[in-house]
Every structure is written in structure tokens, then in C-alpha cells.
Chains A and B, each alone.
Chain A
């Protein structure tokens, strides 16, 4: 039977839709399924249309409407007359390609172009959306796109590929090895130019052309037999290409010196129109050991200038974990100073490594056979090597010794294994405040060596440039193999220095791809997302000097964020994984390290910049605001010193770019009264609990200054309250991961301790009741609770044992001991105990606070003393 009602509905719908169709078709930006543009069988692909939930109609994909991106069309024609190109252009279509032979056109819609109008042309057969290109399945497929969720923004509807961007890579070399080069690779090894036909390009793992700016480090001298670079730059490029296949790539070796590195950065960041590489994003994975810790060196200055010119700069955080010390110099024999003219290193001015009674002047280091290390010492003095520093010479000279025993260097230096004794202070030709030692254990067995830092000249406590700043040093180890440090003096400081700490640079930590949510995050030391064990520890690091060497204390918080490492390349690294571990072991080498994490983050930046050009600062904000917190081994909840604000999330970053987050609100810190010598937690929480607090500054406002006592904790900050009676007022300024600033003020009072006291009344005879009265106990700030207890004998029952007034019945003769404990509202306690002796003969004892009289009292006292009991004892606890 016919369903008449249903047909009636169709008719009604058609009547309603027809006028709407005509309206929609007249709008150049809105299209629907209708008579010309039918959903099925029409000329326009559904890929160009999307259904709007609100109006049930079809329109251009919302993302393209939102961003006004040009839309690339793939048009099939019935015929292509000679004037077709002209007609298309006059209709505001940009013609990229048009073929009569293939009856096909590749055209871009201009702002006034009408798709519906084009569809009415008789020559037009069908209009499709150009789906973009993907590289042929390269030999190596990275899992970074899934781990960083960049696959969500390279797919429809966003279709980002990094087009129009140039990622500039700075590393050791690009095409030196047989992993990259084959017979038809051009140009020749070490020669700059356009790289083509390398193995990775042939396999689709790199773009067909790459701008090689400079690739002549190390192996390019015929005089040497050096093996050359490892082509790490090409491995970094493969990672970039996996995430952003549409981005162009430029490469320059950093060369062999700190100067060549700075010049390479300049070239990379110079526009192509001025002869430079014209990079729009720069990434590097190099640090020169002589870069500076307490001041921006020339590489940092070049990177900073790159950012200031509008180019975001990513730098690998480093792979040295926390193999470093950061300490204030602490003279082991403060009263014994080397005479300035003696020229003798006696050990009396060595740094004391710990606060043991005698101190420890030597850092004991165990080096297994085959292992080696370099140690770089720097202290907070200016460097004359900075070009604008003409007169600010370093005024303190520290030296570094590596010794074979725990003795100061002997007369002929026979126990000296390595030495760093450059002249720093008061010389216009001064060396920079850097000393280094190196050691390699070439023996068959483990060796123990001893490191000492000697103060040679200049102030010992505060630096001469600022009375309030202590002499501080950082000692960073670069270890090959393994090295053991003393258990009581473990290295726990930041290993990050140089340009990764420069202002505006995005420093990148490493998290293995398989630890991310997209894969098997439970595989590491914890069930959460664990960063690489080696990824460099950062933190809040102080810099003390401007480029010209003048005193200028400020701090930088590093690393900025984390990205993934351990992804496949065609030739670089070792194969990784067991059977059936997300496709690993797949026979392809895996590239681990922050060197591998940084290019993945840079590639995500290229995708985002294709979407919308941003200043480096704005791009950094987008990335940090959208990052996913990393909580695992070494990575605390919230911002931490190992992974910064967390893991790059490309999908969230794009959302953040399209719809920026708003400021949240700091939950006010309540004023509080705290107990003395207890840990006080100051948890900084935002109303938007998903937003991390990225950094904070505490400032003393009034009262007792505790700012130097405040330490970061996983959930905020804490300090140990000083003695009772102190009061302090603090201002706090914090920045969340999106860069929003919040401020608050808090008052903290340290409560006084309670005092327990009681009186004893009653006749001290068997069968009598003894009255205990604790009303004399006191506490300044608040009410007390009471607890009476009998210590001996055990069979005494105290009535009202939790009241201020209590009592007990004397049931036996001999020694009795009663204890009172009072507790204040903060849990602080005070106890007092009292001993009485119940004689066989009657006597009257004095109360605890007042004396009695009479012969019986003296008799009682004598008996009491004979009993050997303590009369009254007091102890406090916290």
C-alpha cells in the first residue's frame, strides 16, 4: 500500500527547499544540494560540501570558511576551449594548470569566485577538491604524527602540509655518508647547492630538492683522514618531512667552531631576497662546550636576533640529564687564604662539596673501563669574548683539577690527570670564566678520579659586581659511557646552557613516541608518560650579565616543552624494539635524543604557520598553551624542569590558534597561621584546572623575608616555617602556560608553641583523690586540648583525662608519675610530667607550682629524692 503521507512530506519539502536553494546558490560562499548542486549526481564533489547541523544544508567545509584559505580545485571538463583560461581568470579563478589533452584543470578559488556559477558552465563536467599530495610511502615512516597528533591537522578538513614554509636545519652534516649519497647524488660531497637524487630523496623520505647552504665541516679537508659528519641533519630533515611533507628544507652545518655556528644561524635567518636561506622556522641540535652559562654567548645572540626578526627558533635541550652541579662556592678553609704571590695550589681554597663536619674537598668520580667524560666549569662572571664587552673583565678566577688521589696537586703535578687553570681575573686578555677537564679511562678496570675546584683570586663570597649576589658555579658533565658520583653528593642540577636558554628560543625535551597517549604509555618506569631518562634537566636558571658584561640579573625557565623521539629514519640510529611493538622491530633505524625531538616540534610549527603566520612569541604561546602535561618519571605534575609545559599537541595547538584561550583566575591564597618548623605548602591553582602554572616569582613585601626558603614542589611551592612569632607578607606573580599573568598577596604568621603546666592538689595518701589542674597551661593563638596519662603505676585510672581538670584515686603507695600533654589548634604539643611519692606514713606534698610547708613536707621531699624519681620533666614535640 502506498504511503501517501510520506509522499506528501516529500512534496512539501521540495516546495520549501526550492526557494532556499535559490538563495543559497546566489551566495558565493554557501552551496547546497539542489537542482544544480545536487548532493548526488551534481557537478560538485561532496568533499567541497559539508552538512550544517543547524540548517541541514550543505556548504563549504567549515574550516575553510573559518580560515578563508584558498581552495584548490580539481576540475574535469567536457571540453577545454581556447578561451577557458581567460574565462576562468575573469571569474576570479587562479589557473595553476589546464590541459585540453586531459580535459582537466587545477584552479584556485579567488575571493569573489563562485563555485555554483562554475558548475553551471556547460564545459564543466565535475568539480572536485584537490586532496593534496602525500609522499610516496617513504622507506621510513615516523610515528611522530600520531604521537604529536599532527596527523589530525594534515588530514581533511585542515589539509596542512607546511606548504610555503622553510624549515632551516642546523646540525653536523647532511650528505656525507653512504646512508645518503649514491652515484647520482648532486652536488658533490661538501659542496653547497641544491641537493637532488640522494637516497632519502629517491625513496620519498625527503623533498626532491633541498637547499644545502653549507655542508663542509670536518671531512672536507683532503689533508685529513677524518670520517666526516654523520648526516644527522638529514635524519632531522626526514622527521620534519614525515610531519610536514609540504615544507621546504634548508640545511647548514654549524661548522667546527662557535663562530661558524653563529654565522650559520645568521645565514639561515636571512631572507632569501638578501641571499640567505630564508628559513621560516629554524631548528638545531648542537651546543659548543665553550658557550656560556651566565650570559648570552655569540650563538645565543645570533639565535636571539633570529627570533627578533620574526623567525621561531627551536633548539634541542640536550641529552645530559642532570649530570651537573650548581652551587655557591664554599671555601673549605675560610680562615686560610693563599697568599696572592705564592702561586701555590695548596687545597686550602678548594670548594667544600658538602656540609659534613670536616667538609669534602674532592668529588670522587668512578669511571668504568672505556668510559670518558668532559667537565665544564663556569661561574657568574662576565666573558670578554662577547664582542660588545670591552671593559667588564672577570674579577674572580676559579680553577679546575682532576686528580688521581684525594690530595692537593703535588709539587710537580704528578697526581694531576687534567687541569683547567686559565687566567681570568684582571686581565684585558682574560680568558672567559670557563675551565674544563677531560678524562678517558683506557685501562681494563674501573678507575676513581677526584675533582676539585680551586679559588685562585678575587672575592670568595659575593661577586664584586653586586654585593647581594653570591659567587656561584655550574659544573656540567658530558659523559660517554657511564660515570659514578658519590651517593652523598649526587649531581642533580641543570645541564642546559648556551642558546637553548636564550630569550625567545623554544628548547625541546624528549619523550619516546611509544610513551605517548597514542601508543603504550605504560611501558616506561611509571604508568604515565615518562620522558627520556637522559633528556636534559632545566629549571629556573639565572643569568647575571648583559652582552656587554654589565651586571644584569634575570632568569630563564627551561625547557620550554617536549616533543617525541625514537622515530624511524632510513639510515640514522639503531633499530629498536621487540616483536610486535607497534610495528617495531621494523628494520628501520630509530633516531633517539632531543636532537630527534626538536625537528618534530619544528615541523608542527611549520604546519601551524601555514595555517596562520604568527610571531615567534605568539607561536610559542600557541604551542605552550596547548601542550599536554607530562607526568611520569622525573616529570612532575604540572610544569616541571624536565619537560617544561609538556608534550606538543598539534591538534590542540591548531584549535588554540583558531580560538585562543582566555585568561583563567588564580584561586586566592588564603592568609594563614602555621606551626613553627613545619612544612608550609603554597599551592598555586587556577580556576581552569587544566591550565598549568608555568613560572612564578615570589617577592618579599613585609615582615620576615622567607623568599630564599621557598622551593618548588610537584604541586606548587613550600617552605619550612621559621621559629614561632615570625610574620611575613609575600607577593606572588605567576604566569600560566598560555603566558597570562596573575598576582596575589599572602600573609603568613608563625604560631607560638603552647606551654603545658599543671597543679596537683589533694592529700597524698592511699585511698585519697589527687586533683590535677592544667588551667595554667597557655597558648597565645588559640584553644588547647588536654591529655592526661599515667606513666606509672599502670593501674591508675585518671578521671576526665582529656579535660583541663582531672583526678585519680591513689590505690597504692610508692612512686606515681603523671604526664600532661597540651595540643594547640595547629597540632603543636607541649608535655610536662610530674612525679609524686605516696608514702606509707601521711605527709602533705607541695603543688607543682607552689611550695608547701611543715615537717611532713621535708620528709616527703626526702622520700621522693630517695626514690630517685625525676621531679618534673618537660618536652616539646612538633
Chain B
């Protein structure tokens, strides 16, 4: 009886182990690519940039399930060492500033084009750009 129970247990162990994540071979697994295009951009925004040349900024955003309206994509921008002069520098035809704060080192804006997004990346005082998650 003990042998039978032990056998069943071993079979169960083997079956579970085979289907378990514990032994999933890495070569069949998902590769998390380096966020190399711009480390300042969140993954979704880096992916959005890859659409340049094929789709419009808004179209690509919608394809990626990003909330992208005619106003653009609402961005949450973290800065470091930003001053009042810097805020004035962030002017672009395809950028609509919603709020800015030197105190909080933060910008909130709608961006409507690939060029505007690249324009932001180039600013030294901009540390990280992500899509506003909403409320």
C-alpha cells in the first residue's frame, strides 16, 4: 500500500514539475528587452516612438491602447533641477502644458507628435516621462 501511495505521489510530482514554471526552459520564454531607445521614456512611450514613419502619433497610440485623443497623450514628466527658465523652454507646437511646478519638479502636458516627444527627451532637466495613469 505504501508503495502504491509513494508511486502515485512521485507521478504527481513529475507531472506537476513538468508543467510548473519552476523548470520552464529559458529559451522558450519571454525576453524583456532593454529599454534602450530612451531610458527617460516609459516602456509604452518607447514603443510609441517605434511607430514613427508608419502611423501618426495618435494612431500609433490608439493601436497600443494608450489614451490618445486629438489633444494628444497626457504625460507625467519628472524633472531634476528644473527652474522657471527651463519651464519656458518647453514650448513646442505639439505640446499643450497642463500644469508645471518647479517646487514639485514636475510637468503635466499633452503631447501630439513624435517630434514633440523627442524634443522633450533632449532636455537635460527632464528625468523621466510616463503616461499619466489617471484617477
Contacts and interface: CB of A to CB of B under 8 A. Distances in A.
Interface stretch (A22-30, A382-390, A612-620): A382-390
Given A259-B99, A345-B29, A409-B29, A332 B127 contact: no
B127 to A, nearest CB: 5
A258 B132 contact: yes
B21 A423 contact: no
Interface string A269-299: 0000000000000000011111000000010
A580 interface: no
Interface string B94-135: 000011110111111000000000000000000110101111
B132 A290 contact: yes
A432 to B, nearest CB: 8
Interface residues of A, number: 61
Interface stretch (A84-92, A175-183, A221-229, A235-243): A221-229
Contacts of A259: 76, 98-101, 104, 106-108
Contacts of B76: 257-259, 290, 385
A342 B31 CA distance: 8
Nearest to B109: A257
A595 to B, nearest CB: 12
A260 B99 contact: yes
A200 B22 CA distance: 62
B29 A423 contact: no
Interface string A325-350: 00000001100101000111111101
B134 A384 contact: no
B29 A410 contact: yes
B32 A286 contact: no
A438 B64 CA distance: 13
A286 B133 CA distance: 13
A408 B23 CA distance: 11
Q: Which of A254, A345, A346, A376: most chain B CB closer than 10 A?
A: A346
A802 B132 CA distance: 76
Contacts of B98: 255-257, 259-260
Contacts of A411: 28-31
Majority secondary structure, A binding face: loop
B133 A358 contact: no
Interface in B1-38: 16, 20-22, 24-35
Nearest to B16: A358
Contact of A223 (B70, B100, B135): B70
A347 B21 contact: yes
A434 B21 CA distance: 24
A245 to B, nearest CB: 30
B42 interface: yes
B59 interface: no
B39 to A, nearest CB: 5
Nearest to B25: A346
Contact of A408 (B29, B42, B74, B134): B29
B128 A384 contact: yes
B104 A262 contact: yes
A429 B127 contact: yes
A436 interface: yes
Contacts of A409: 29-30
A522 interface: no
Contacts of A336: 22
A385 B21 contact: no
A422 interface: yes
B21 A256 contact: no
Contact of A436 (B27, B101, B133): B133
Nearest to B130: A431
B86 interface: no
Contacts of A260: 98-99, 108
Contacts of A255: 98-99, 108
Contact of A387 (B20, B35, B106): B106
B28 A429 contact: no
B11 to A, nearest CB: 14
A592 to B, nearest CB: 19
Given A348-B22, A421-B43, A430-B128, A343 B99 contact: no
Q: A-B pairs with the 8 shortest C-beta distances?
A: A347-B21, A409-B30, A257-B108, A387-B105, A289-B133, A260-B99, A290-B133, A259-B108
Given A259-B99, A344-B31, 7 more contacts: A257-B74, A262-B104, A288-B135, A342-B26, A344-B32, A423-B35, A423-B43
